[in-house]
Structure 1
Amino acid sequence: PKGLQKMDGNTLIYQVRQYLEAKRYLVFFDDVWKENFSDEIEHALISNNKGSRIIVTTRMMHVAEYFKKSFPVHVHKLQPLSPNKAWELFCNKAFRGQCPTELEDVSKEIVQKCGGLPLAIVAIGGLLSTKAKTIFEWEKVSRNLRMELDRNVHLTSLVKILSLSYDDLPYHLKSCMLYFGIYPEDYVIKRKRLTRQWMAEGFVKDEENRPLEEVAEEHMTQLIHRSLVQVSKVGFDGKVKSCQVHDLLREVVIRKMKDLSFCHIMQEDADHVTVGITRRFSIAANANNVLRSSSNKGIRAIFVFDKGELNEHCTSRAFSKFKLLKVLDFEKSLLNYVPDNLGSLFHLRYLNLSHTKVTVLPRSIGKLVNLETLDLRQTQVHELPKEINKLTKLRLLPAYYRKYEGHYSMLNFTTGVRMQEGIGCLTSLQKLYFLEADHGGIGLIQELKKLRQLRKLGIRRVRGEYDNALCATIQEMKHLESLNISAINEEEILDLDFVWTPPNLKVLNLKGRLTNLPNWIPKLKYLVKLRLGLSNFEHDPLDSLKNLPNLLRLNLWDDAFAGENLHFKVGGFPKMKELDLTRLNKLSSITIEKGALLGLHHFRFNNNPQLKVVPQDLQYLENLQFLGFADMPSELVESIDPNKKGDCHWIIKHVPLVLIRQKKGSRFHDYELYPIPTISIV
């Protein structure tokens, strides 16, 4: 219409409504950024019952969610292209059809870097279509992709589009996003590791008395909803376990890091140390050289990804120089020894020694009065110095070693740490696992009463004589969400008779002989995960547990049940997604009533020697996605294998994935897997 550019909002809405009133229309809005965009178009797009449709694309989930307030909406989350589709698109752009055989390997390497992102595949395929079709030329592009992003006209638009998403971030999320560039290419990052580092750096601020951990989780969720971060793994409870960023987006992030002097990355081909100002080191190679030679005293964080052995002298020199360090991450590096001058790092808030060869912590650790996270997972540190009790700001202390070699024993698979008298001073502690209870006994357990902020507690080698003290202590922990208790041996009887249990308990692990199923367990209305081991219940515990309203995962291990038949009744376990029955030596049959376990997705059977016939009632589990049989009797395995003319294959043929695992050696991971053909893969 005439005068369109001069119309006010109300006039424009009237004109659009009039034009669309008698029409069946399709309106497409591409790449919407404004959250309240639906408010602006709601009155213009008339609902005329003629089958009209609106299509909106956006990078941000909160924009899509906002549309639900005004329109009946179906949100479709676009997934990356499958490898086959990505390859087809690339070949069409780069070769207009077929890829030459000699370029196939390097081409597939380039496609993999595109991560299934059509925009990237089209841009890079277009670039390569202009290059000579030689291995030398194509490998050069693959190696120097970051440089090509800077200078090549085919890729500058791609960089601009990816940069827009970063530039649109609020200030507090930009630093969080830059942290992804610190990690090596294709590195899958544990969510908890990353959010704790954000907290240590001060990127996460207090908000209306909310826990910092909760605010950090929200930051992560925002980055995911803005399509900047890809979820790699989700836990059984739906929470993100690990994540990563697209390779090309990582290149954009690295450019931003360089511009802002956020972090300097030491790569394999860098044999010198940059002297310019930077706040962080990410060391993928030449760690000893970097730690010894750098004179930059303003470093706030050091990450060591180098797989070479770390020199004690170089590490000690680094601790002497970098007095402003807040984050120190040695995870999976070849660190054997922590120097005595660790205590000079007064500002240190995050220390990750997990999966290293460290065996002893220096007493000077007691000087790290600002330390919030001390990660000792999978280290051989078995005793903590008494000075650790001075760390009154310490929030997280995971400390254990799991032995994957040799004969498996539930009680000895994990080794915790011994702590000294005075543990009650750690009043900020939120997570402590695993503590060896027999070193300190009742006195140590009584001191735990003072740790009233605990959310997660793991305690091992518990004796029956500790029962009263342990129950009294746990009853003081109002915020406890995860509890793990292991007896000192298989014969020790635990009488865990809580008068009152923490109201927010979500995860419960009990490993030890119990006289009866504690009557407080069926009352845990927020419980999502329950693992029972060595309990030796003579009566089926399922009837007592079946009404837990939020239970998602149940593990019965190592003769938790000492009877012959487990019975799942109709309506029981309404939300259960995962069920694991392991080493129940007398179990010979399972009954599943039709209407029980309706939401079950994963069902695992592991080394139940008397269960020789596949439970026929598995046919009723219509939503089952995975069925696993590990070290089960050959009679059962052969009965479901159509290749061996098994006559029970019909029971499990509806399950998309059925795996058989057979042990091949004495070590924990010595086994082979093979699938059973089912209707979905035949």
Structure 2
Amino acid sequence: MAEIDVGIVIDRLISFLGAEVKLFGRLKKEVEDIKIELDYIACFLRQTDPMVDKEDSNGGFKLWVQHVREVAFQIEDVMDEYKLYHVPVAQHQQQQGLMAFLSRIAHMVQTVKRHLQAASKIRDIKTSVNEIKERSERYRFNTLQHVPGENCDEPIDPRMGLHFVNSEALVGIDSSRQELARRLADAELKRTIVSVVGMGGVGKTTLVKKAFDDEIMAGHFNCHAWITVSQSYRVEVLLRTMMKQLYESRKQSPPVRVDAMDGVELISICRDYLYDKRYIVVFDDVWKEDFWRHIEHALLDNNKGSRILMTTRSMNTAEFCKKSSLVHVHNLEPLPLEQAQELLRRTAFQYDEDKQCPEELNGLTFELVKRCEGLPLAVVAITGLLATKGKDVGQWKRLLDSLSAELDSSPHLSYVKQILSFSYYDLPYHLKGCFLFMGMFPEDYPISCKRLIRLWIAEGFVKGKHSMTLEEVAMTYLSELINRSLVQVSVIDSIGDVRNCQLHDLMREVVVSKSKELGFIQTCPENLSNHDRVARHLSICNKSNNFPMVVGNYQTHSAIFFDIEELPKSFRFLLFTKSKLLKELDFEGAPLTYIPEELGNLFNLKYLSIRDTKVKKLPRSIGKLHKLQTLDLKRSFVSELPVEINMLFNLQYLVAYYKDKQSIYSINSRRGMKLYSNFGSLESLEKLYEVDLEAYSGGNFFRELARLKQLRKLCITKLKSESGNALCDAIQQMIHLQSLRISSIKEEELLHLHKMSSPPVFLRCLRLRGRLMKLPGWIYELRNLTKLTLEWSRISDDSLQILGVLPNLLFFWIFEGYSGAQLHFHKNHFKKLKDLRLCWLNDLKRLIIDEGSLTLALIIGKSGIFQISISFTSRLKEHSMKPTSLVIHAC
């Protein structure tokens, strides 16, 4: 984790030494020296990061790393302070005469003053860095092979007991056990891998052990082996262990020289031994994605029906094997709450005479397993602690209320935290900060993925990759956390992308504990007391209005508000006047009615959200926020942006619209934002959603729009017929566009969108609201289109039929989009379609679906894969109409 902080600071030092700030004389050399020293420290920390994180790591070493982090923070803060009032020369050149001269003189005086202040602080920091270096040499922290105070013996693995789980603890695994048995005993002769994937503590080892034992007892295999892999391993050691077990399973002695063989010899001996045998081998607790590449050649594919079982927390690890073997992935989920409650009752009272849970404890057993969210390991661990409480309702209730503290202090539960923490320790350094940042969100809070990754980007956790936007890179980070079973998917959108995610409650406890230890996150008011400094990130979830008055501390980089009933004026004053190094400010859902002019003081701000607030106007000082990347005004009352917005050259994400719930059926149920002229200067914009065109006339708007060549998502509302061609010309310039939504100014207004010779080739989602009469020809060229929505198009010809040849179309929704009497889905069209919605087609009399169209087999029998929703009811509910016939050929 410390390596993340140091790495971010090094990146910023490079910028600091470059064109961003001009340093004079000796000061630049001082900064260069600090950067070089930090490079070495970062390299060392990257290698020792897993050792630092672990609970049993040396206390002195942890203290040394903490000092490294604090110095990194100091360097970052000094850079930010130095640049805080750095005014570009061009700004002074705008003034004339005596005022210009006096302004330049004042600027020079302030610049010299800032140089002297920065020089003093940087020299102090350099002294601190040198002291850290000397301390590391004095106490041998620079030696990777040995850290003072470390126990040379291997610590006891808390997962060892999972191999010997009592049968009383086997609840809710019958279907998974049967599935594994079926995979192990099927007729497939080729070597097959069965991977069981799930988060720590979900019961992977227990399930596989029972399935493995059943197969051994049944005698289906000639030889067998069980190998525990874990996070660190040597291939030669694993091969020797496996070979010995394979021989011993047949009551044979392994080769005499087995302990002296190298990797090549071991693989060769294994292959020879397994040549004519049907074997089963388990690799338990696999972490490395490329593990299979190291071991696969030893396990001969001899067409004898051999099986390999693998348990892992990573979906990527499971799927890596597909490169060279048949693979079946079994996702193991936590128990449903009812089964988890049964498990708790069965194990908690297994030694009682009646083995029954008292009636008065039933409600508490449910609340306890709810806190565990069905995680079997935690449920069983809690029963051990409950055994010390007897059947006293009061003690059970106190345990429920103090479960978080018990995870750290109770020997019955601390190992649960240890097992869950292994997943965190295994993360690459660039993902640890991203994962810990999720602790900013309250328990059980549905986290918007878009919101999360924009915050990651603003904090500097996301590194750019060639040909990918930062948002795309951040999505790969989130996908990896999901694949590692650290983050749970809670909502998926219509095109299959993850929309919301969340942390398992117990995994969140790990995150909060680690964040508190590192001073990474401070939640208010829960852990506000006993802090001598404010953490880098503030999460304020507070109905009591007991706000932290220390928020002005320069170390604070982000503040996010949840469930706030009132924002005191004194707190707002501190926030906007004293917290000048803030990077992220998220007021989503807060009772906020205005943003003061002092917003312009937050020169480092990269993320600002006033989504779902009652703010009506942005201050003109927002033009000073030159680093701002995200401006989220969704469902606020802001409808017109100040002209100063055009100075935000780094702005990537601009969203502002409000949905009128009273006119949900109207084409103008949503109102967007109004932009001033010259907004084309916002050339970094990737999302512009949505722009209200009602106030615009002439072609200047569309010339400015065409300058936004980096756009990935665009929404235009209230388009007039005469502007259609100009809009098409602008869209053709947006070669990266992936999502496009266009609405006309009224339902009867024609959308003239036919003039587009080169549509954006990466377009995935297209939504057109307004009369078309005929489908634009360029739509048929969209080979990557996955979702098409037509509203009030009233197409009367057969141009819809041509859509059937689009190779990737998955969703096709029509709302009053067709006015013909007959709609015919021809043979071999719409082969990939998953969701068809036909609504408000008042003139339709006959619907014909040919054999081979709409993946017909899925329509008539396979639920859960294909959805078809057909409604012929008028949206105004004035009358109801049904087609005279529905014809499906080929049933």
- The normalised TM-score by structure 2 is 0.66
Q: Which moved more, 1:383-392 or 1:61-70?
A: 61-70
1:313 deviates by: 4.5
Q: CA deviation at 1:266?
A: 1.3
Are residues 327 and 6 of structure 1, via their aligned partners in 2, closer, same or farther at CA, if it must alter by over 3 Å?
Answer: same
User: What secondary structure does 2:588 align onto?
Assistant: coil
2:665 pairs with 409, 414, 418, which one? 409
Which residue in 1 is equivalent to 2:285? 31
Shift of 1:437: 0.9
Q: 2:357 maps to which residue? A: 99
Partner of 1:664: none
Match of 1:357 among 614, 619, 622: 614
Answering whether residue 780 of structure 2 is matched by residue 522 of structure 1, we say yes
Match of 1:85 among 321, 339, 343: 339
Distance 2:713 2:721 in 1: 22
Range moving further from structure 2, 466-475 or 165-174? 466-475
Distance 2:500 2:443 in 1: 15
Residue in 1 that maps onto 2:593: 336
State the Cα deviation string for residues 33-60 of structure 1 (Å, max 9, x = none): 2333223332332334332211111111
CA–CA distance in structure 2, aligned partners of residues 486 and 252 of structure 1: 47
Matched, 1:111 2:369: yes
1:281 is matched with 538
- Alpha-carbon distance in 2 for matches of 1:397, 1:206: 20
Q: Secondary structure at the match of 2:812?
A: strand
Pair 1:128–1:566, CA change in 2 (3 A) = farther
Match of residue 693 from structure 2: 437
3-state SS, counterpart of residue 494 of structure 1:
coil
What runs of 5+ residues in structure 2 fail to find an aligned partner?
1-253
- In the alignment, which of 560, 585, 600 is matched to residue 303 of structure 1? 560
Contact in 2 for aligned 1:304/1:331 (Cα 8 Å): yes
Query: Cα 1:389–1:56, aligned 2, differ >3 Å: closer, same or farther?
Result: same
Check conservation: 1:577, 1:600, Cα contact below 8 A: no
Match of 1:159 among 405, 413, 417: 417
Shift of the alpha carbon at 1:82?
2.6
**Is it true that 1:41 corresponds to 2:295 in the alignment?**
yes
**Residues 70 and 528 of structure 1: CA distance in aligned 2, closer, same or farther (over 3 Å):** closer
The match for 1:61 is: 315
Q: Percent identity?
A: 45
Instruction: Tell me, in whole angstroms, the C-alpha distance in 2 between the residues paired with 1:81 and 1:319.
Output: 47
Deviates more, 1:14-23 or 1:478-487: 14-23
Pair member with larger Rg: 2
Counterpart of 1:51 (choices 289, 292, 305) is 305
The equivalent position to 2:768 in structure 1, one of 487, 507, 510, is 510
Q: What SS does the aligned partner of 2:326 have?
A: coil
Write the mapping of 1:308-457 to structure 2, written as runs, cut at 5 A: 308-404=565-661, 406-442=662-698, 443-457=700-714
Q: What CA deviation, in whole Å up to 9, does each residue of 1:348-368 have, x standing for no partner?
A: 001111111111111111111
Q: Deviation string for 1:240-280 (max 9, x for gaps)?
A: 1111111101001101100110010114x668684424111
Distance in 1 separating the partners of 2:530 and 2:719: 51
Alpha-carbon distance between aligned partners in 2 of 1:488 and 1:413, rounded to the nearest angstrom: 11
Q: From the superposition, tell whether residues 182 and 63 of structure 1 become closer, same or farther in structure 2 (CA, over 3 Å).
A: same
1:637-676 to 2 correspondence within 5 Å?
none
Task: Report if aligned partners of 1:288, 1:314 keep a CA contact under 8 Å in 2.
Answer: no
Q: In 2, are the aligned partners of 1:291 and 1:317 still within 8 Å (CA)?
A: no
Q: How does 1:541-580 map to 2 (within 5 A)?
A: 541-557=799-815, 559-580=816-837
Query: TM-score, structure 1 length as denominator?
Result: 0.86
Contact 2:774 2:799 in 1 (8 A): no
User: Does the 8 Å CA contact 2:458/2:629 hold for their aligned counterparts?
Assistant: yes
SS class of match (2:633): strand
What's the counterpart of residue 609 of structure 1? none
Task: Output the aligned Cα RMSD.
Answer: 2.6
After superposition, give the CA deviation of every residue in 1:522-546 in whole Å (9 maximum; x if it has no partner).
2211111111111121224431211
Which whole-Å deviations, capped at 9, do the CAs of 1:553-612 have from their partners, x for residues lacking one? 11111x2112233222222211111122232333344222232211798xxxxxxxxxxx
Residue identity in the other structure for 2:718 = R
- In structure 1, C-alpha distance between the alignment counterparts of 2:795 and 2:343, rounded to whole Å: 59
Displacement, 1:99?
3.1
In structure 2, distance between residues paired with 1:238 and 1:98:
45
Cα displacement (A) at 1:67: 2.0
Q: Aligned-pair distance for 1:454?
A: 1.1
CA contact (8 A) 2:750 2:771 kept: yes
| Alpha-carbon separation, structure 2, partners of 1:135 and 1:625 | 49
Single out whichever of 8-17 and 232-241 deviates more from structure 2. 8-17
Matched residues in 2 for 1:312 and 1:630: separation?
52
Give the distance between the partners of 1:373 and 1:271, measured in 2 at CA: 29
Structure with the bigger RCO (C-alpha within 8 Å, sep 6+) is 2
Aligned counterparts of 1:126 and 1:283: Cα–Cα separation in 2? 35
Does 1:470 find its partner at 2:727? yes
Deviation at 1:480, TM superposition (A): 1.4
Alignment deviations for residues 57-105 of structure 1 (CA, whole Å, 9 cap, x no partner): 1111222122223432222222222333322222222223543222222
**Partner residue of 2:435?**
177
Do the aligned partners of 2:551 and 2:574 also contact (CA within 8 Å) in 1? no
Stretch moving more, 170-179 or 57-66: 57-66
Contact 1:513 1:535 in 2 (8 A): yes
1:186 paired with 2:444, answer yes
Q: CA deviation at 1:372?
A: 0.3
Asked whether the 8 Å contact 2:825–2:850 carries over to 1, the reply is yes
Larger mean Cα displacement after TM superposition, 9-18 or 86-95 = 9-18
Indicate the SS of the match to 2:494: coil
Q: CA-to-partner distance for each residue in 1:213-264, whole Å, 9 max, x for gaps?
A: 1211111111111111111122232221111111101001101100110010
Q: After alignment, is 23-32 or 306-315 more displaced?
A: 306-315
- C-alpha displacement of 1:430: 0.9
Q: How does 1:121-270 map to 2 (within 5 A)?
A: 121-267=379-525
Change (3 A) 1:93 1:364: same
Contact 1:292 1:315 (C-alpha < 8 Å) held by counterparts: no
Asked if structure 2 preserves the Cα contact closer than 8 Å seen for 1:335 and 1:358, the reply is yes
Distance 1:459 1:164, change over 3 A: same
* Shift in CA distance, 470/461, structure 1 to aligned 2, threshold 3 Å: same
Corresponding position of 1:532: 790
Please identify, of 188-197 and 270-279, the stretch whose mean Cα deviation from structure 2 is larger: 270-279
5+ unaligned residues in a row in structure 1: which ranges?
Answer: 602-617, 640-647, 655-682
Instruction: Tell me the CA shift for residue 135 of structure 1.
Output: 2.6
Deviation at 1:499, TM superposition (A): 2.4
SS at 1:546 equivalent: helix
Distance 1:91 1:631, change over 3 A: farther
1:624 CA drift (Å): 5.5
Aligned amino acid, residue 532 of structure 1:
L
**Which residue identity lines up with residue 250 of structure 1 in the other structure?**
R
Q: 1:484 aligns with which of 719, 741, 754?
A: 741
